[in-house]
Amino acid sequence: MPTGRHVEENAMHPFRKAVEERDLEAVEALLADDVVFTSPVAFRPYPGKAVTAAILRGVLRVFENFRYVREIASADGRDHALVFKAEVDGREVHGCDFLHFDDDGLIDDFTVMVRPLSGATALAEAMAAQFDRIQQEAAGS
């Protein structure tokens, strides 16, 4: 018996829709206050809505030609995997956003994984260049 389901295009998750429309207010509204963001290029997770929102704004600044190509949801709808493709500094990146939703329907756990190594390296370098701005944005929230 399958434990997940493929989500049809017309049933797009609100997070996916917000990201694809680059609606940063809608993205932030879907984050729980106690969300934990786990980056593909940093060792430690980042707890909290302000820093997670700032990181996501930074990611949208560095990703070029970003698009989700597949959406997979658990049967209960509390877990989603959003497969994406993008470019960073001319390097192709394939990745997946793993989202978990709390009882209120807000994202409380957000993990990103990317490949290949050359794409992950380009992403790490591009995000490192954004780090001061991300910290300032998170502090200002």
Three-state secondary-structure class, residue 49: helix
Q: pLDDT band for position 13 (50/70/90)?
A: confident
Position 7 scores a pLDDT of: 47
pLDDT of residue 1: 41
At residue 98, what is the residue type? Answer: F
Mean pLDDT throughout 97-111?
Answer: 97
Is the pLDDT at 10 greater than 70? The verdict is: no
Query: Is the pLDDT score of 32 beyond 90?
Result: yes
Check whether 4 has a pLDDT greater than 60. no
pLDDT (tens digit per residue) in 118-137: 999 999 999 989 888 888 98
* pLDDT value for 98: 98
35-60 residue pLDDT tens:
999 999 888 999 999 999 999 999 99
Q: Is residue 22 within 8 Å of residue 5, measured between CB atoms?
A: no
Instruction: Determine the average pLDDT of the residues in 78-87.
Output: 96
d(CA 54, CA 141): 9
Nearest to 126 by CA among 59, 68, 67, 65: 59
Domains (ranges, CATH) in the chain? Answer: 4-140 (3.10.450.50)
